[in-house]
Amino acid sequence: MNESEWRPRRPTRRQILETAAALAVLGYTRPSFAAEGNPATPPLPPTDLAIADVPVRLTVNGTAQNLTLDTRTTLLDMLREHLGLTGSKKGCDHGQCGACTVLVDGRRINSCLSLAAMHDGDSVTTIEGLADGDRLHPLQAAFVEHDGFQCGYCTPGQICSAAGMLNEHKAGWPSVVTEDLAAHAELSDPEIRERMSGNICRCSAYPNIVAAIRDAAGETL
């Protein structure tokens, strides 16, 4: 008999899972060895630790807000659940779709990935704060003019992201498709598509979104 014939076979993943499930059904718990003279396994830390509430003071769409929030509250949940600003949408909740994009001190961020407590003292602008009264923001008007949406779920994030992107372009920030890093990049269609690539439109209204942004940026169509 050679070694391959007598060597014990390792259990398969399926067998391990089946055994674990059976032990769970039977209520099996790991025994303590204290009775045998061995120290028992130290207890795990409690899982119901009190979560602290902290004061958060920030400006949202020009209005000062003084809130007391659970430290785990995201900026998106603060806007939607505490301030009733539901324009910012919760899409993937993982920072992958851009539907929750807002402006913080003029820069675009995914609000689902940012804790509200991190923005104490900051100025936040959501889709509700872009318009000047009844006068639409140029990007809002351009999206209407070019029909840059279908279901509209991603539109608030698209518009806020575009506003932040135009600020970045105005400041001379290049993108990965910018050919001459020493020159101010023309806001061409490839530039817009690359700079807006973090915002997903599941209806695929991308051509109209690009046209709306070019129009709002003052580029010729």
Domains and CATH numbers, the chain: 54-129 (3.10.20.30), 131-221 (1.10.150.120)
Task: Report the candidate in 85, 87, 121, 86 with the shortest Cα–Cα distance to residue 105.
Answer: 121
Residue 58 reports pLDDT greater than 50? yes
Q: What is the mean pLDDT of the chain?
A: 87
Report which DSSP code applies to 74: B
Q: What's the rounded mean pLDDT across residues 60-84?
A: 97
pTM of the model: 0.76
Percent of the chain with pLDDT over 70: 80
Tell me the pLDDT tens digit for each residue of 12-48: 777 777 776 666 656 555 555 455 555 555 565 555 5
Task: Report the candidate in 201, 174, 194 with the shortest Cα–Cα distance to residue 185.
Answer: 174
Q: What's the rounded mean pLDDT across residues 150-175?
A: 96
Tell me the pLDDT tens digit for each residue of 105-161: 999 999 999 999 999 999 999 999 999 999 999 999 999 999 999 999 999 999 999
